[in-house]
Chains A and B, each alone.
Chain A
Amino acid sequence: MAQTFTKAMARNIFYGGSLFFILVFLGLTFDTTSAIPKRDNRANLTETVALGKKLWEKNDCIGCHTLLGEGAYFAPELGNAYKRLGGKEGIIAFIKSRPKDGIPGRRSMPQFNFTDEQLDAIAEFLKYSSEINAGGWPPNIQG
């Protein structure tokens, strides 16, 4: 770098540039906060959905699955599981039917022994998730 470009100038670019873009980011965050009520399906964010999210977290479902594309890539995407598995009944039946000792040689979801109320909450949570406006993602039903 040329001698006319000093360390002090570089430092000022760092502080000034960072500060400027932090402010832009905060501005965009503010705008996003006011825009998401139209997209985040909050009208359907019931007590049951909240319980479902708690169960989702408490069992670390994200350690195998993705939800809206985020998580682990060991098991299928669940943002559209409500549609792919044929609604709540399909989701509940799948979770309930997992064998305790797995499937020989293959990946299998553990048997969590959920109560009926818990199964309903998880299914409600996945229904709510599937109705979030995620910009048309995933590309197709396979997730």
Chain B
Amino acid sequence: MQYKSQAVAKPYFIAAIGLFVGQIVFGLVMGLQYVWGDFLFPEIPFNVARMVHTNLLIVWLLFGFMGAAYYLVPEESERELQSPGLAILMFWIFLIAGALTILGYLLVPYSTLADLTGNALLPTMGREFLEQPTITKIGIVVVALAFLYNIGMTILKGRKTAVSLVMLIGLAGLAVLFLFSFYNPDNLVKDKFYWWWVVHLWVEGVWELILGSILAFVLIKTTGVDREVIEKWLYVIIAMTLITGIIGTGHHYYWIGTPDYWQWWGSVFSALEPIPFFMMTVFAFNMVNRRRRNHPNKAAMLWALGTAVMAFLGAGVWGFLHTLSPVNFYTHGSQITAAHGHMAFYGAYVMIVLTIISYAMPMLRGREAANSNRSQVLEMWSFWLMTVSMVFITLFLTGAGILQVYLQRFSDNPQPFMVVQDKVALFYWARELAGVVFLVGLVVYIASFFVGSRDAEAVTSTAE
């Protein structure tokens, strides 16, 4: 660790991992509710479990992004963070607000939570992924502004690199686009249209800039390849991301009451969205092949290559699978969507956060560059357990989705939703089983922070 203030990243990473565990536990609850309909009913109905599952995901990824920024920006800017104290204060505010929100979901009925938090004054609740009470949303904005000030000032006063600038653009875009979550018109079509400005332009837009910059940073550090080369790749990748992804928003505007021309704009541009992800895969492998040194942190390299591959598969391939409007006509809002969502979020965003944690955490805990061999071996086991089980979760959901689409929408005798759900239950059971393996992988991951932590640090002597 080159700068003392990088240490503020540590609590952010720890919180991220803690909330990740909660997310997975509730994922398993939901998975079980799919096949055991009244599990925990009426205490924790499915929608509550889902809110907890998705909101925890968003919050822990934000913790991860902020931790990543606090870690890499001082190093890129070659100066201490503008205000480490502010970063710690915002950590606690965000954590407490997040925890209270989740407890609110779990302890009182959602409508009561809406009343308690004065939702009627500015109704923003009850929309997918934006279920947070309005005051929580305002809190998110405050935290984001303080965070941007802290990061922005550090960058402005220090060395400006492509990595830190791209990250700043991504984070600023994240904050600005979130403001659309406060716009909730009575007109359902308009509501849905601008809701995607948060959701799509986050995950298929500005978040990819954050992803790209973190990946570029880790590759610069671990491969020793010239910064100029890596930053050139970064610019080309994110250029393709926004060139395809902004108009690609149109693939959400096929069936919500917006004009039919979106079927053309959305299909053509979103069909190109896999390109930047494919470039990212080529980029990561190219840089690792051209490495000038063997970094002792093999686990971090594995995560970096893994995220490049899995983001391409999950976001690129599984996204393309149902993005063309004639296909989407049948698959829209089915288990195909769920399959894509799982692998895309895991591949692109979960894995990039785990990449930067894997890279930075050893230093944050006082190591020179890497954990012990024993610890890394365990971490790599967790990589494979989680990644392979996520592949199977995706495949089982895809199987369920294909059957669902056929039986409910495509065949000559379309059958009712619940009849079809019963018929595909086998796939849901298999998905749940894969989910249990994922949880095992997560436990192994956490164990890797404790096992071998007193062993000597891994060294690079092992020639490849």
Listed in ascending order, the chain A residues whose CB lies under 8 Å from chain B are: 1, 5-7, 10-11, 13-14, 17-18, 21-22, 24-25, 28-29, 31-32, 35-36, 39-42, 45, 49-50, 53-54, 56-64, 66-77, 100-108, 110-112, 128-129, 132-143
Contact = CB atoms under 8 A, between A and B. Distances in A.
Contact of B257 (A22, A50, A68, A105): A68
A140 to B, nearest CB: 5
A47 to B, nearest CB: 9
A42 B228 CA distance: 54
Contacts of B366: none
A76 B242 CA distance: 34
Contacts of B247: 21, 24-25, 28
Contacts of B186: 45, 49-50, 53
Nearest to B422: A106
A108 B110 contact: no
A73 B242 contact: no
Contacts of B162: 7, 11
Given A7-B231, A102-B38, A132-B189, A60 B409 contact: no
Contact of A25 (B45, B192, B246, B333): B246
Contacts of A39: 189, 257-259
Q: Give chain B's interface secondary structure class.
A: helix
Nearest to B397: A73
Given A36-B190, A53-B188, A64-B46, A134 B242 contact: no
Contacts of B259: 31-32, 35-36, 39
Contacts of A14: 235-236, 238-239, 242
A103 B260 contact: no
B37 A107 contact: yes
Q: Which of A7, A53, A67 has the most CB of B within 10 A?
A: A7
Nearest to B254: A135
Contacts, number: 230
Interface residues on B, range: 35 or more
B304 interface: no
A76 to B, nearest CB: 4
Nearest to A76: B417
A64 B232 contact: no
Nearest to A63: B47
A69 B255 contact: yes
Interface stretch (B93-101, B124-132, B440-448): B124-132
A73 B334 contact: yes
B2 interface: no
Nearest to B407: A142
B294 interface: no
A141 B131 CA distance: 29
Interface string B10-53: 00000000000000000000100110111001100111101100
Contacts of B335: 73
Given A7-B228, A108-B38, A42 B187 contact: yes
B333 A69 contact: yes
A132 B249 contact: no
B324 to A, nearest CB: 14
Interface string B189-201: 1101100000000
Contacts of A101: 41-42
B456 interface: no
B5 interface: no
A134 B252 CA distance: 12
Contact of A60 (B51, B233, B242, B255): B51
B184 to A, nearest CB: 8
Contacts of B371: none
Contacts of A139: 329-330, 409-410, 414
B258 A74 contact: no
Nearest to A132: B257
